[in-house]
Amino acid sequence: MQVVHTIAELRQLLARFDAPAFVPTMGNLHAGHLALVRQAKPLGDVTVASIFVNRLQFLPHEDFDTYPRTLQADCEQLAAHGCDVVFAPSETELYPQPQTFKVHAPAALGDLLEGHFRPGFFTGVSTVVMKLFQIVFGQSKGQGHAVFGKKDYQQLMVIRQMVRQFALPLSIHGGEIERAEDGLALSSRNGYLSTSERAEAVQLSLALKTLAAGVLGGEHNLAALEQHAMAALAQRGWAVDYLTVRRRDDLQAPGTPDFQPGQLVALGAAKIGQTRLIDNLEF
């Protein structure tokens, strides 16, 4: 496996391949990321992962400075999982000038849920992903592939729409959420949890299961179900941003005819202590 830090090195390396399969990450890798690499591997003729903590997608009060940077351990894990190339640029390599050209997600998708609670987040994500796509796929002759985890469900949808609307010659693949034994969705931010918070953290996924069970059990008053689920988490000490049931295809609130098996997703974001966790459940 080769680790490169500059765009020029990466382009030179990829020049002899036709169709990269790409997994963008911010590093501090866990089994969820490695599953994405395994999924990417058979899709292309070279497997590329990027590691870059993207300042543009963090709000000023968020954890950009403290986000764990574990390049060496990440590279060891990527090598063990058959990744061929790691692109780990510095901030000045990726943003030699302030990145004032930006990609904005459409408000109907980008301003709700995560976009509502983290304004600018999807602009930051879309901008860096578009730039990484130009760098990784800019010279590829065949169909490229990129894999994103479903844990960031709305992010995956934003990237899919971006690729479609800009007619990028890429297929976007969603990777299933990897969970700890108790059901907590794996996340780099789980490392921030204290022992007691870690024990409590599974309650977010349980709340989503309860929401889904309510709908599947025939309850169509979603507002009441959601209020009840949020109040129950809040009572346990969580600061809840949202717990909600949406249509899978556009993340809008479903009308009654949408209550079909396989059409819906329950999504949640909430803070336990200082750590904000997100999770979702398709049902």
What are the residues binding ligand PAF (CB under 6 A)? 24-26, 54, 57, 125, 128-129, 152, 155
Query: DSSP string spanning 43-59?
Result: GSSEEEEEE---GGGS-
Give the Cα separation of 93 and 10 in Å (integer): 12
Q: Which is nearer to ligand PAF, 94 or 193 (CB)?
A: 94
Amino acid at the residue 75? C
Residues 125, 103 contacting (CB under 8 angstroms): no
Give the Cα separation of 143 and 163 in Å (integer): 13
Tally the C-alpha atoms within 13 A of residue 45's C-alpha that lie toward its C-beta: 12
Q: Which is nearer to ligand PAF, 54 or 77 (CB)?
A: 54
Q: Which is nearer to ligand PAF, 90 or 194 (CB)?
A: 90
Give the Cα separation of 149 and 160 in Å (integer): 12
Q: Which is nearer to ligand PAF, 128 or 211 (CB)?
A: 128
Residue 173 is among the residues annotated as catalytic for this protein: no
- The structure tokens listed for 94 are 């990726």
User: Which residues are within 8 A (CB) of 16 and not within 5 positions of it... i.e. 6 or more apart?
Assistant: none
What's the residue count for the chain? 283
As measured in angstroms, the least distance from the Cβ of 141 to ligand PAF is 25
**CB count in 10 Å sphere of residue 111:** 14
Residues 225, 256 contacting (CB under 8 angstroms): no
Exactly one of 33, 61, 145, 228 is catalytic; name it: 33
As measured in angstroms, the least distance from the Cβ of 204 to ligand PAF is 18
Torsion angle of C-alpha atoms 179, 181, 184, 186, degrees rounded to 10: -40
As measured in angstroms, the least distance from the Cβ of 24 to ligand PAF is 4
Q: Which is nearer to ligand PAF, 155 or 203 (CB)?
A: 155
Please list the active-site residues: 33
